[in-house]
Structure 1
Amino acid sequence: MLNKFKKLDWPIIIILGIFMVISIFVIKSATFSDPKFVGSHFKMMYFYIGGFAIMLGVSLVDYRLLLKGWIYFYGLGVALLIAVFFLGAKINGAVGWFKLPGGLQFQPAELMKLAIIVMVAYLMGRRTGDPLRFRGDVIPIGFLTFIPFLLVLIQPDLGNAIIYVVILLGMFWIGNVRYTHVVIGLGAVLAAMFLFVFLFNTFNQDIKDYLQAKDKIHWYQRINTFMNPDSATEDEKHQSNNAMIAIGSGGLTGEGYMQSESIKKKFVPYPYSDSIFVVIGEEFGFQGASVLLLLYFLLIYRMILIAFQCYDQRGAYIIIGIVSMFVFQIFENIGMMIGIMPITGITLPFISYGGTSLLLNMLCIGIVLSVKIYQEKYALED
């Protein structure tokens, strides 16, 4: 047991400890003027304590046990996504949450991210480094990813659905996919994007009327604001415009801790969750935002280093899947706050308030640490 603790990647654990401090203090600042959410930083502290316990516990368990049971893990994830349609609660326009005792909530779409990573890693690992076959590997893996993608998309939760695709593409890339398959895939993606843009702009008003009737107008507003900013109404551009103004007002050094005007005047929605980067940019300025990005860079660097040093390709695949998930979430969350990405419900990893996402992220880090601990054992057995 002591030898396993010695093999833990302590730089990663230290970075997570810094994230915990940042998250707790920023959430406190983001909620101090809202009576409904005052004290959320204490809940986040408890989530982090539980997260560290889960991370350390999982790191001491051989990650290959998870690979052996991939089909049960994947099946559980899909079953929960189906069950949430019948037993879930509607929050922010999406039916994707289970309400638990004590006011807690659980989002199965978050757990499905890890289930997809494990599934893809196992199935690609069977090739032992050989190029992936189109019909034998790419199509079956893509189909198994499409099932949860569709279930989450119709909740509707576009953000998490896109993350599933990003995870798949990132793992395919590192899994020795053939260049011809890459060309076919990129062609299909580009064709789908051009078709979507054409249909959205052609039937813009019809789409707006339909989604408004279905009480899902926020879908239209988010996409239309990004694709057609000049024609979008002020109400549709409210969140993105105010977010950029708030971040810009922070300047180089920021306005100071708990001095955010956008929080006091409630200019930006969900400042403790989706829009938490706005609080960091406004209160700590460019310097504070840069430090946060540097910490993310160091975390990703350490994870990729473990993947490179891993003897087991399946372990490396798992880490690359987790890295793909984190990188996209960071880019999307910050990008939508500065106007270069459409607004979605994706949170900022390890910083935004939320028990499900934090515990899932800490669980993922625990698996990464397990890969590091057990890679030498794998080499000896191999």
Structure 2
Amino acid sequence: MWKMVKKLDGVILFVLLVLMIISILAIYSGTRFDPKLANHHVKTIYFYVVGFIAIIGIGLFNYKLYVKYAFLLYGIGIVFLILANVVGSTVNNANGWLKITETISFQPAELFKMILVLFLAHLIVKRKRGELGFWRDVVPIGLWTFIPFALVMAQNDLGNALGYVVILVSVLWIGNMKLKHALIGLTIVGAFFIGFIKSYTFYHDEVFTFLEKIKREHWAERIDPWLVPEKATAKAMWHTKNAGLAIGSGGITGKGFLEGTSVQSGRVPYTYSDSIFVVVAEEFGFVGASLLILLYFILIHRMVLIALECKERAGPIIIVGIIGMLLYQVFENVGAFLGLMPLTGITLPFISYGGTSLLINMACIGLVMSIKLYGDEDEDEWLPEEQSPSLMQRIWSLLKKKKENSAM
């Protein structure tokens, strides 16, 4: 066992250790004047200890076992998402939290991100080598992803729901999707995105009225400062405006630890979670923020190297799915305070306070470690036996035969 532990990627562990230190300092700085949040930095230490144990525990087990039983994990995850919709409690407008005790709760939507990566890898490795067919492969995989997407959207959690889409796109890309299908998809997404921006800005009042009727007006409060700041309410602009001023005031080297005027005065909300990047930027400046981004780059780089060294298909698919998940969170969180993205409540990986988010991210790193340890084994030894064709595959086969017969 000890020999296996020594084979774990030391660079990744070191990066996580530095991120832990940054997280503890930033959370302490952002919560020290709030009695209700005063011990959050201590809880973060506990979460990290459990997280490092999870990395070792998950890393020592062969990841191919997780892939093999991913269908079962998917089913369990769906049950949790349904329970969150039915009996979940609400936190920051999202009603997707399941209470274990009065003080302990977790968010199934966060857990399902890791499950989705494993499940999509499971679906793709069952396919024969070669490019993915559109109706035979891409559409069924997309439908499997749509189920949790719809459940999480029903929880009013847009940020995590979009994260599932990013994971899907990442996995399809590494899973050898046909170039023409990828280009068609990008064209559709681009047209939808441009159409959304044009429609939202032109019919803003009508959209806002509709969102009020369905009790989703807080979506407009997050989108308005990004797209139409001139129409945004003072309440909607408060968060992003003060966050932008705080980041700019940090300058090159920052105001110093515990010296951030905007952070310490409470003018920036959620400095321990969604807005924690503002704490780093104001108190440690451009240098501190750049160091944080560099640490993410090193982490992603090491994961890419492990994927390249893996000799079978599931490992790289899992790693790219995890990379896509992490990059989305970083870009969305940081970009929201730089005016590049709307606020969606996404936490900054390994930095923001949140036990579920941190533990799931650490568990994903555990999967990466497992791929490093077991990625050189022959996949024929563990791949599931060929199963009977699915309904979609049978339909595709019948259509193909009909086309061939008509051609004759």
Establish whether TM, by shorter chain, passes 0.5. Answer: yes
* SS state at 1:4 partner: helix
Q: CA deviation at 1:126?
A: 2.4
Bigger mean CA offset, 217-226 vs 314-323: 217-226
Deviation per residue, 1:292-316 (Å, 9 max, x gap): 1111110000000000000111111
Q: Is the 8 A contact 1:274 1:346 kept in 2?
A: yes
The residue number in structure 2 matching 1:347 is 347
Once superposed, what is the RMSD of the aligned Cα atoms? 1.6
Q: CA deviation at 1:151?
A: 1.0
Q: CA deviation at 1:23?
A: 0.7
The residue number in structure 2 matching 1:130 is 130
The residue number in structure 2 matching 1:168 is 168
CA gap of 1:341–1:179, structure 2 versus 1, over 3 A, is: same
Deviation per residue, 1:6-46 (Å, 9 max, x gap): 22111111111111111111100110111110011000000
Deviation per residue, 1:91-132 (Å, 9 max, x gap): 111211112225122000001111111111111122354100
Q: CA deviation at 1:203?
A: 3.7
The residue number in structure 1 matching 2:257 is 257
Bigger mean CA offset, 4-13 vs 211-220: 211-220
* SS state at 2:377 partner: helix
Unaligned runs of 5+ in 1: none
The residue number in structure 2 matching 1:186 is 186
The residue number in structure 2 matching 1:41 is 41
Which whole-Å CA distance do the structure 2 matches of 1:69 and 1:23 have between them? 34
Identity of aligned residues (%): 47
Deviation per residue, 1:207-233 (Å, 9 max, x gap): 323333444321111112211123223
Q: CA deviation at 1:155?
A: 1.1
TM-score, length-scaled by structure 2: 0.90
The residue number in structure 2 matching 1:296 is 296
Unaligned runs of 5+ in 2: 383-408
Bigger mean CA offset, 193-202 vs 86-95: 193-202
Q: Is the 8 A contact 1:44 1:353 kept in 2?
A: yes
Deviation per residue, 1:276-300 (Å, 9 max, x gap): 0000000000010111111111000
Equivalence map 1:92-241=2 (5 Å): 92-101=92-101, 103-241=103-241
Q: CA deviation at 1:192?
A: 2.3
Bigger mean CA offset, 351-360 vs 92-101: 92-101
Q: Is the 8 A contact 1:222 1:236 kept in 2?
A: yes
Which whole-Å CA distance do the structure 1 matches of 2:91 and 2:379 have between them? 47
The residue number in structure 1 matching 2:395 is none
The one-letter code sitting in structure 2 at the alignment partner of 1:260 is G
CA gap of 1:296–1:245, structure 2 versus 1, over 3 A, is: same
* SS state at 2:231 partner: coil
Bigger mean CA offset, 179-188 vs 249-258: 179-188
Q: Is the 8 A contact 2:85 2:151 kept in 1?
A: no
The one-letter code sitting in structure 1 at the alignment partner of 2:103 is G
Q: Is the 8 A contact 1:129 1:175 kept in 2?
A: no
Which whole-Å CA distance do the structure 2 matches of 1:209 and 1:231 have between them? 14
CA gap of 1:262–1:129, structure 2 versus 1, over 3 A, is: farther
Greater radius of gyration (CA): 2
Which whole-Å CA distance do the structure 2 matches of 1:202 and 1:298 have between them? 42
Deviation per residue, 1:163-212 (Å, 9 max, x gap): 11111111111111111101221122123223433443344223323333
The residue number in structure 2 matching 1:74 is 74
Count residues in correspondence.
Answer: 382
Which whole-Å CA distance do the structure 1 matches of 2:295 and 2:12 have between them? 10
The residue number in structure 2 matching 1:376 is 376
Deviation per residue, 1:252-285 (Å, 9 max, x gap): 1100101121122211110000000000000000
TM-score, length-scaled by structure 1: 0.96
